[in-house]
Amino acid sequence: RTLDRQPMPPGRPRDLPKAAWIGYPGDYEIWLGNQVQNRRTERGAFFPPFWKLDNHYVLVDFRKSFDLPGPEYIQFQFQGRHNIKLDGKINLDFGTLYLQPGHHTIEIKVFNESSPPALYAAGTYVISDTSWQVTIEDKEWIDASGKASDKSGTVWQPAEPLPGDDPAHWRLATQPQAASRIERKKNGDLLLDFGKETFGYLHIHGGRGKGKGGYLITYGESREEALAINTSEVQDFVTFSDSGRIDTVLPMSRAFRYVRIMPIGTWVDSASMLYEYSPLAQRGSFRCSDTTINHIWDVAAYTFHLNTREFFLDGIKRDRWIWSGDAYQSYLMNYYLFFDSATVMRTLWALRGKDPVTSHINTIMDYSFYWFMGIYDYYRYTGDTAFIRAVYPRMVTLMSWVMQRRNKDGWLEGMPGDWLFIDWADGLTKKGELSFEQLLFVRSLETMTLCAGLADDPAGAGTYRREAAGLRTRLFTDFWDPRRQAFVYSRVDGQQDGKILRYTNMFSIFFGYLDEAQQDAVRKNVLLNDSIQKITTPYMQFYELEALCAMGEQEHVLKQMKDYWGGMLSLGATTFWEQYDPNEKGVQHYAMYGRPFGKSLCHAWGASPLYLLGKYYLGVRPLSPGYATYAVTPVLGGLKWMEGEVPTPHGNIKVYCSRTRIQVHAVTGEGTLQFKSKSRPVCKAAIRAVGNNLYELTLQNNNDYTIDYAAID
């Protein structure tokens, strides 16, 4: 019977619906995260993360029940050892199934240790997609008579689509790129300048030599770094026997603008690179009357694109790791540039890993909270409940781990192994209850409340709602200084420490936790108060500027942007940096972590103008999940005019705004355009005056609106 091979497959039907590789939710991302994060090297040495790396489930069961209207022929592909059960009977596997019309159930088990078990099925009616269910334990035993158990203990859930035609070897796109300038030294060394920061695989042309030897390659984000063979952060050494061939593409992708190639007993004719990038469409755009701001936006978009890879990375040169606090900002920027949900979901899954929880995400307390908040924002921008349902169980286990670490007052203090990061800044003590951590904790509990509702956990929703409300009230009891009208930095042994810093205060503004009087006080006493310690990282600038924008300080923020980001540009930056201090000079700008080239010159958190300009100048943001309703509130902030597009799940919202005219292209859903005008604005659509020079207009599906008005200074 083993020899009864199935007949040869007929010509494959045309116009098959599109099948996708499928796998167990969240597993591919964890596995891919291991691949990507372990690409970090430090001066040639492998440099993996210092937190627990989880892994995919090695055995996954897939199943689908369906009714066939006609005969069916299904071709399968697998990544892993597998079996196929058709209607309860194990089938000899020739990679295909012929089925008669009627009801069928297919159950497939796939085992794979080195990459996630994956399935691809292409039939006329039956294809692999998210209608398949998966589990990691079918618990299907038989008794001594051969009768199968009932399966009531088994948790099945929707399969997850995997990227590419070969998920185990999925790679980003590449294209050849030449250096813009090549210097040849007398000793044969080559120094390549690619004109701007870039990322990819070095391609060596015309390499040759005899016997032992090779090439030492030093990469530099700056020319100085590429030339500093003793201290440059990233190096490769290619031994001649390794390359052998005349043309060699190096196996590891690297970040650089400059590359120095030192042939040792060998010769190199030339070199170029394969630029590697995530092939995402840049849906958002921004142009305005200020050329510096336009330049900032372009460089921010490029910086962000370089760091948007398999995941949202912190920086492309050094860590190449997924850091939750960094990624949180990337999610937000993404909603104003690519609106790519896949990269957000991949990043969230990879960050979370598996149960049991043994530490905060990336070991950092605040980074656990950014993970929750990232889910909140993802739902707000995309309205994707399927993802919330899939990830909710891991939200519960992380939150319950966090809750178990509270002190007697219900607040979180640092325990052994907890990193309380907040920001790279001097003098941030980590003792006692830090108000910033408690604030994010409350926000995370609010996220849990929302998601519990979406994931059919009303009991959980109730608990989280009570906890969030109680703690939000007690934030003010415990950390608000009524005399100075601001949040203090921390409380030690139940006593406020009296120190006031920007962090808690600025977040509480765009969280909407302050009433108008409190907000005004914080603006004056903290945000616009130069005696309060300044922020030096683009990371926290992101939030500081967001808080100011949320209070209508767009004009002030525009100046800050031009100063800070414009400052980097005037130093020749082609991408934005991990940190920038205008007081530093020359190569001082490149040092960090005690190393002369330790700083990343292409850091995702440097790209925040993308978000600020889209959300607070063009003024586009969702009011209900997935842009079912949304706001358009253009604010020129001192610009003469601006125009741009903001992506949504239903297409792009387009905004043009000058001091006399506003034009909006609306999308499916209902938008509300809001603006101030000295005079009664003119538009074909109905405009509502809401008092105090404020006007509103309802934006309908896919319509274009033109409003003539008079801007107020």
The residue (of 85 and 661) whose beta carbon lies closer to its own copies is 85
The residue (of 162 and 636) whose beta carbon lies closer to its own copies is 162
Cβ at position 47, least distance to its own copies in Å: 6
Number of alpha helices (DSSP H) and beta strands (DSSP E) in the chain: 15, 34
Cβ at position 52, least distance to its own copies in Å: 4
Residue burial 557-590, b: 16+ Cβ < 10 Å; e: rest: bbebbbebbbebbeeebbbbbbbbeeeeeeeebb
| 277 contacts 305 by C-beta, under 8 angstroms | yes
User: End-to-end CA distance of the chain, in Å?
Assistant: 86
Torsion angle defined by CA atoms of residues 584, 585, 587 and 593, in that order, rounded to the nearest 10 degrees:
-10
Cβ at position 665, least distance to its own copies in Å: 45
Longest dimension (CA), the chain: 88
The residue (of 55 and 133) whose beta carbon lies closer to its own copies is 55
Burial class (CB in 10 A: 0-12, 13-18, 19+), 641: middle
The residue (of 142 and 686) whose beta carbon lies closer to its own copies is 142
Cβ at position 283, least distance to its own copies in Å: 35
Cβ at position 107, least distance to its own copies in Å: 11
Measured on CA atoms in the order 413, 415, 420, 426, is the torsion positive or negative?
positive
The residue (of 58 and 628) whose beta carbon lies closer to its own copies is 58
Query: Per the structure block, which two tokens stand in for 436?
Result: 């910033």
The residue (of 40 and 406) whose beta carbon lies closer to its own copies is 40
| 375 contacts 449 by C-beta, under 8 angstroms | no
Cβ at position 427, least distance to its own copies in Å: 12
Query: Per the structure block, which two tokens stand in for 339?
Result: 């609106």
Please, which residues bridge with residue 631 across strands? 621, 672
Cβ at position 11, least distance to its own copies in Å: 23
Cβ at position 509, least distance to its own copies in Å: 26
DSSP classification of residue 143: -
Alpha-carbon distance of 119 to 235, in angstroms, equals 39
Length of the chain: 713
The residue (of 209 and 651) whose beta carbon lies closer to its own copies is 209
Q: DSSP secondary structure string, 188-201?
A: S-EEEEEEEEEEEE
Cβ at position 48, least distance to its own copies in Å: 5
Alpha-carbon distance of 662 to 552, in angstroms, equals 19
DSSP classification of residue 38: T
The residue (of 107 and 553) whose beta carbon lies closer to its own copies is 107
| 397 contacts 368 by C-beta, under 8 angstroms | no
The residue (of 145 and 291) whose beta carbon lies closer to its own copies is 145
Residue 397: in which H helix or E strand, if any?
A: helix 385-403
Closest Cα partner for 438 from 481, 395, 490?
A: 490
Task: Map 41-89 to HEC letters.
Answer: EECCEECCCCCCCCCCCCEEEEEEEEEECCCEEEEEEEECEEEEEECCE
SS3 177: strand
Alpha-carbon distance of 21 to 359, in angstroms, equals 32
Place of tokens 């253009």: 634
Cβ at position 45, least distance to its own copies in Å: 5
Cβ at position 316, least distance to its own copies in Å: 19
Cβ at position 528, least distance to its own copies in Å: 26
| 390 contacts 348 by C-beta, under 8 angstroms | no
The residue (of 139 and 466) whose beta carbon lies closer to its own copies is 139
